[in-house]
Amino acid sequence: MENRGYDRVRQKSIAELDLSSVDGPITDIVEGFIALPQCFTLQCCYGHFLCAPEQGLHNIDPIPHGFSGSATYRIAYIAFCLENSPRGQALRQSLARLSAIDPEFVQFGSADWFWERCVNSYALQVEPEAHMLKDKAILGPTEALQTQAARDRFFEELRVLLATELREHQAG
């Protein structure tokens, strides 16, 4: 829908962005999307697997080899506000296609509470389908490893999409 304040809100969001608060493994993605005028990042999280009580909430270590317990998983996601323009709409379609990476683990949509704060906002998340409406889930070892693999593929494919978008933007 039309958002007459899009440019102002985008500039404010970029000015207030503290890249040091972004999870290290996805800082490059957030930085890359800053260059695209048809979007800006609202929030993001790399997705954290807590496999032991001593691990901090922002643990980015992979699940240990041979892990056999349960893991607390805090979802991986990235939320965008998209400009109501042909490029913004094309980016929305490209982002939506990323759910095909693994439909049982990758979802695309728009949360009401994001939309209320910022129209034309969309999110991609990596979460087992049974837990897709939760911020975190307790996963058994097999499901945790599947989720980790889906998360890693998701961010790889998001980087590929971003590279294509950046090339198109630079080409005009």
Q: Please give the structure tokens belonging to residue 160.
A: 């590929």
- Beta-carbon contacts of 48 under 8 Å, excluding residues fewer than 6 positions away, are 57, 58, 59, 60, 73, 74
Sign of CA dihedral 59, 154, 156, 88: negative
Strand order in the sheet with 48-50: 48-50, 71-74, 136-139
This prediction's pTM: 0.94
Choose among 111, 98, 102: nearest CA to 29.
98
Residue 134 CB coordination number (10 Å):
13
User: pLDDT tens digits, residue range 5-54?
Assistant: 899 999 999 999 999 999 999 999 999 999 999 999 999 999 999 999 89
> Among 3.30.450, 2.30.30, 3.30.1960, 1.10.10, what is the CATH number of 6-171?
3.30.1960
User: pLDDT tens digits, residue range 60-100?
Assistant: 999 999 999 999 999 999 999 999 999 999 999 999 999 99
Q: Where are the domains of the chain?
A: 6-171
3-state secondary structure of 2: coil
